[in-house]
């Protein structure tokens, strides 16, 4: 009986928690995102390139397409992300980088800004390749006019 319960318990755990995942070099996230200052919502694909083999370090490239009640928003972020606890179920992440922010309307000049962003969140391993998560980010613009922003996004990731 004890063995059966242990077996059930193991089955309930995601594969990644039972066996170390073979770290892929690339990871792709599809991230539905909402920006709270300059309201908009849309999708933010993220391509993560692992730096230096195993370890938390990743290069993040994240273009996006978001639509708000007043404008369409196309951001492109390039930065660093650290994702901890590889092979565990819960994997915290933090990151920072630069973001080009392009907002446009149909009848006026577009707004182009450059921002520094910080992000934090966590992903949860569903299998050795699939993960889901949640992240928040804050940014401060230093080109194209002053401002600060907040964003929240869900993460659905696949290790390539």
Partner 1 sequence: MSTRLRSLLALAVLLPIIARAHSPSVLSPGVPTVIEDTSISYALYGVFETGDEVFRVKVSFPEDFALPVELFVPHREELKEHRPAFALVGPGLFFTPTAEERAALPLPLPEGAGAYVDLNRVSPRPVFYETFTRRFFWSTGVVALVVPKGDYEFWMWSPHKTRGKFGIGFGVEEGGDFSRAFEDWSVYAY
Chain residues in the site for partner 1 (CB under 8 A): 35, 37-39, 69-71, 103, 105, 107-109, 111, 113, 140-141, 144-149
Tell me whether residue 83 or residue 141 sits nearer to partner 1 (CB atom): 141
CB 94 to partner 1: min, Å: 15
User: Which DSSP category does 7 fall into?
Assistant: H
Tell me whether residue 29 or residue 117 sits nearer to partner 1 (CB atom): 117
Cα torsion angle, 47, 51, 54, 60, sign: negative
CB 140 to partner 1: min, Å: 6
Tell me whether residue 98 or residue 132 sits nearer to partner 1 (CB atom): 98
CB 68 to partner 1: min, Å: 8
Distance of CA 82 to the CA centre of its chain: 11
Residues with Cβ within 8 Å of residue 5, at least 6 apart in sequence = none
Q: What separation, in Å, do the N-terminal and C-terminal C-alpha atoms of the chain show?
A: 39
């Amino acid at each position: 009986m004890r063995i059966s319960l242990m077996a059930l318990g193991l089955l309930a755990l995601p594969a990644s928690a039972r066996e170390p995942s073979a770290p892929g070099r690339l990871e792709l996230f599809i991230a539905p995102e909402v920006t709270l200052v300059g309201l908009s919502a849309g999708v933010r694909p993220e391509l993560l390139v692992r730096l230096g083999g195993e370890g938390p370090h990743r290069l993040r490239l994240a273009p996006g397409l978001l639509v708000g009640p007043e404008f369409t928003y196309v951001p492109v972020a390039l930065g660093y992300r650290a994702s901890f606890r590889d092979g565990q179920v819960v994997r915290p992440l933090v990151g920072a980088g630069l973001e080009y922010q392009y907002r446009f309307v149909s009848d006026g000049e577009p707004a182009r800004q450059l921002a520094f962003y910080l992000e934090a969140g966590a992903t949860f391993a569903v299998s050795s390749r699939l993960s889901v998560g949640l992240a928040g980010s804050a940014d401060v613009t230093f080109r194209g006019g002053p401002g600060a922003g907040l964003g929240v996004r869900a993460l659905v990731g696949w290790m390539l």
